[in-house]
A = this chain, B = another copy of it.
Amino acid sequence: MSVEQKLYLITRNLQEILGEEELKRIVSERELNVYWGTAITGKPHIAYLVPLMKIKDFVDAGCNVKILFADIHGFLDNLKAPIEKVQHRCAYYEKLIKSALKMLCVDLDRIQFVKGSEFQKSERYTMDLYRILSITSKHDAKKAGAEVVRQVENPMVSSLVYPSMQALDEVHLSVDAQFGGVDQRKIFTYARKYLPLLNYEKRIHLMSPMLPGLNSDKMSSSDDLSKIDLMDSKEAIWRKIRKCFCEEGNKDNGLMMIFSHIVFPILQLKGECVRITDRDGREMAFEKYQEFEEEFVRKSIHPGDLKSNAARLIDEIIRPIREEMEKDLDMVREAYN
């Protein structure tokens, strides 16, 4: 694969890159080492498929990819995950994310899975943590975490430690780049400023856009779409989709976001087109989201049909994940009951 092809795969669908020159330099010389971290908090929902598709891009581009299950971060973030639950949840996340990656046809052997607790208690890491906390003002720490860490009235000290650890993870995972949503931007710029103060090199930062109504609260936060769980049954999916905002001909809604960022890309990578059946049994097939959107805008697709087809397609996509997870329902119960 040419350097250009690799760079195309690595950077497509990103909203922003910090350190692009360094990225080009490394990719032209060797494989990129990149990590994506997920804090072990609540229950991963459908929007998790979006970063996992980027993981596939990284793997396809020959990168050495690490996925960090940030278990300690899960409770440092104002106890989003209870300390005594976090290992069970971590097992759940690991199985879920691996199942999703398999569904996306990603070769798991090409990815290194790491738990935060495997290295964040080491002597070297801990000393680095003491060092970085000694030069990080409360003000900078609060600012860095503002869009990631749960904002509560009486926050815990750990919520100020969270961004510093995410910065150190880049060093201790030995990566060139960190990938995350653009909501991570302030933590990324914090890391870029502070790692050099500890005589570490600043890393490259690859940011995917936030999807309003899916992984961001900026729009239609009252919709239930962002609550579609990767283990949801077809009926559960339908219940969450049924009532969501969807106006005839108006493409600005979470469902269209799901079509553009989840349904189309996933079926595309499987070499399938997206088939829509309306209430009269008529079928339309689309290869590209753009054509589909045009049909919706010109009102050839009714909102009701959009919803029923979305429910069916989402179910088809996530069913393999659900079936995999249902083999171990005890684990699921221990993680969330």
Contacts and interface: CB of A to CB of B under 8 A. Distances in A.
Give the copy number. 2
Contact of A160 (B78, B79, B125, B157): B157
A128 to B, nearest CB: 10
Contact of A121 (B75, B127, B155, B159): B127
Contacts of A160: 138, 157, 160
A131 interface: yes
Nearest to A77: B134
Contact of A136 (B127, B133, B137, B156): B156
B164 A134 contact: no
Interface residues of A, number: 33
Contacts of A78: 134
A126 B122 CA distance: 8
Interface in A145-181: 154-161, 164
A123 interface: yes
A135 interface: yes
A136 B79 CA distance: 11
A138 B157 contact: yes
A30 interface: no
A133 B121 contact: no
Nearest to A141: B157
Closest 4 CB pairs between A and B? A133-B158, A121-B123, A134-B158, A121-B126
Given A136-B157, A138-B154, 6 more contacts: A72-B130, A76-B130, A117-B127, A136-B158, A138-B155, A160-B160
18 contacts: A75-B134, A76-B134, A79-B135, A83-B131, A117-B127, A130-B158, A133-B161, A134-B156, A137-B154, A137-B155, A137-B156, A138-B138, A138-B160, A139-B154, A141-B157, A157-B157, A157-B160, A161-B161
Interface of A: 72, 75-76, 78-79, 83, 117, 120-123, 125-127, 130-131, 133-139, 141, 154-161, 164
